Amino acid sequence: MLTTPRKLVYCILVTLRYAQAIGVSVPFIAPANAPRVSGSLISLSLEQDRWTDWVGTTSKNDFFLNTLDNLLQLTGEPTQIRIGANSEDHTNFNPAIQFSQTTFPAVTSTVPYPEATNITVGNGYYQAVQFLPNGTHVIWGVNFGANNITAAFMETRAILQAFSSPAVRNAGIILDALEIGNEADLYPNNGLRVKGFSLAEYIQEWTTFASNVSATASISRTSHTKFWAGSFAGSSHSTSGFSPQALFSNGLLSSASGPLISTFSQHHYSGSFCSGSGGLLQDLMTKATIRSNLTIYAPDIIETRAKGLDYLLGETNSYSCHGAPGVSNTAGAALWTLDYALFAAQLNISRVYFHDGVGFKYNLIQPVTLTRSILDGSTLATPLAAHVQPQYYAAIIAGEAIGNSGTTQIAELSISNARLAGYAFFEHSRLARIILINSDAFFQGATSRPAIHVDFSFVGGTPDSQITVKRLNVGHADDVTGLKWGGQTYETPDGRVAGDLSVQTSTVAAGVDIQSTEVVMILFT
């Protein structure tokens, strides 16, 4: 291994420090408006058609469950799982089928792993939920697109039968909510409703379904299981069109099923682009883009919270077409995921459910062996075993930053740099950790890698002088493997962490250097 003389290293650091140095003020005590952040902030939305590929059928999928357990060990709170999405509105129940029968459209280079156009499932499909980690909260989607109440009734009855079974009850798996339909605002575009399908028609149909489903599932004001409302692809942010404001102003909450709604779920993707580029990756990662993509929902969040309901992103990720190749599956997307989720928490978005499907480019986790390229659908010379993708590291870092105290609050730091974002985490109201994210994209082929030096000042108190620094090591923003968090990798055959932990000890007074396409965690003793 080549080594650099200490004198040269010192000179480089001094040059960086004085050429690109910024000061960051950090509150020592949690600000009054700092929201409490859940250990399951980063949760998963799973495409329903291949649910048993994720979790298992007669036995569990150890790889997938190991990746969930890694997160559980960090936060003490299981990742929440939403099972639904596009295929939710193409699912029907048949008791003669054990698990599922599916019909898929042709593979294309743009969509190498398309969603099923028809899914018929049996009792075993729902019973497989027993394999999830103990205490997992589940949200299950029911077919609304087919506009067939009998089908929704049969699905609901099978779901409730599974969740009331001894195996699921003993594992403490909880049916948190039922979601009636996926992105109903797009139904006129995809043939599930006629052109001109209005919000008033939606409310009338939804409340009819909800009344039937609530009777089937014994959902009441006092039961734990409730309904997610909305699950719209977009929002008008007004009292017309499809939005929470429009639902409320048109009487959804005053309907018979209104009191059974606990949550408004919004879906959001950062753009629609299906052929990837380095420029697009920098756009995705950019601090201002992340904030503009999320702050548009501020009035929706305020209105929803004012009604006493929870607000979350029930399905989200980077780009449509299951992600853009060379963008959504890269290390740069891991930095985007982390900043996106942490900033969402600042807006009082309680959870962010990143959408995953088998073979999707923007997955955090690929749960089974793949035989086709996720980028263009070509046959792989060697099948690719189950593995994590770069975005998974964002979930690990967020989980570690939140911790398992159950009291953690988060506050974004005011940083006057277009590429550097920062968040402070407080336990029992006192500063515990800082996350810094440098979203300047360092691409393969670049000859120099800039860095920023950060000096800290503190308001309301002073932490101990010693700090521990932990880094997400990334070769390049457009790398698809090789990331290491504190010197350790999750790119292992079983999804468990491997390698020796590598952190640095330093002092608060020394500050910290953070290079392009890097995440740094500062831990205070």
Secondary structure of 203-245 in HEC code, one letter for each residue: HHHHHHHHHHHHHHHCCCCCCCCEEEEEEECCCCCCCCCCCHH
278 or 414, greater pLDDT: 414
Share of the chain above pLDDT 90, in %: 92
* Cα first-last separation, the chain: 33
Architecture of the domain defined by 42-401:
Alpha-Beta Barrel (3.20)
What are the tens digits of pLDDT across the range 115-166?
Answer: 999 999 999 999 999 999 999 999 999 999 999 999 999 999 999 999 999 9
Provide the token pair at 335: 């930095």
How many Cβ atoms from other residues are within 10 Å of residue 54's Cβ?
A: 25
Asked if residue 105 has pLDDT above 70, the reply is: yes
Q: Averaged over 95-103, what is the pLDDT? A: 98
**DSSP 8-state code for residue 130:** G
Contact 353, 312 (CB under 8 A): yes
Mean pLDDT of 416-430: 97
For residue 14, what pLDDT is reported? 38
The band of 433, judged by pLDDT with boundaries at 50, 70 and 90, is very high
Predicted local distance difference test score (pLDDT) of residue 130: 98
Please compute the mean of the pLDDT values over residues 264-276 and round it to a whole number: 88
DSSP 384: E
pLDDT mean over 400-429 = 97
pLDDT in tens, 288-340: 999 999 999 999 999 999 999 999 999 999 998 899 999 999 999 999 999 99
137: left (phi over 0), alpha (psi -120 to 50) or beta: beta
What is the H or E stretch that residue 524 is in? strand 518-524
Closest CA relative to residue 316, chosen from 283, 347, 286, 349: 349
Q: Which neighbouring-strand residues pair with 60? A: 56
Indicate whether 389 pLDDT > 70.
Answer: yes
Domain range annotation of the chain: 15-34+407-524, 42-401
Handedness of CA 229, 233, 234, 239 (dihedral sign): negative
- For residues 382 and 115, give the distance between their C-alpha atoms in angstroms, rounded to a whole number: 24
Per-residue tokens: 355: 């959408």
Is residue 10 within a helix (H) or strand (E), and if so which, with residue range?
Answer: helix 6-19
Q: At 272, which amino acid appears?
A: S
Nearest to 316 by CA among 275, 284, 283, 288: 284
User: Confidence class of residue 19 from pLDDT cuts 50, 70 and 90?
Assistant: very low
In angstroms, the Cα distances linking 167 to 163, 174, 324, 521 are 9, 12, 40, 40
C-beta of residue 483 within 8 angstroms of C-beta of residue 393: yes
Amino acid at 87: S
Within its chain, how far is the Cα of 512 from the centroid? 28
| Residue matched to tokens 């749960």 | 367
Q: What's the Rg (C-alpha) of the chain?
A: 23
Q: How far is CA 274 from CA 105, 322, 326, 474, in A?
A: 18, 8, 10, 25
CATH architecture of 15-34+407-524: Sandwich (2.60)
Residue 278 binned pLDDT confidence (cut-offs 50, 70, 90): confident
- Per the CB < 8 A criterion, the answer to whether 64 and 71 are in contact is no
Mean pLDDT of the region 358-368: 98
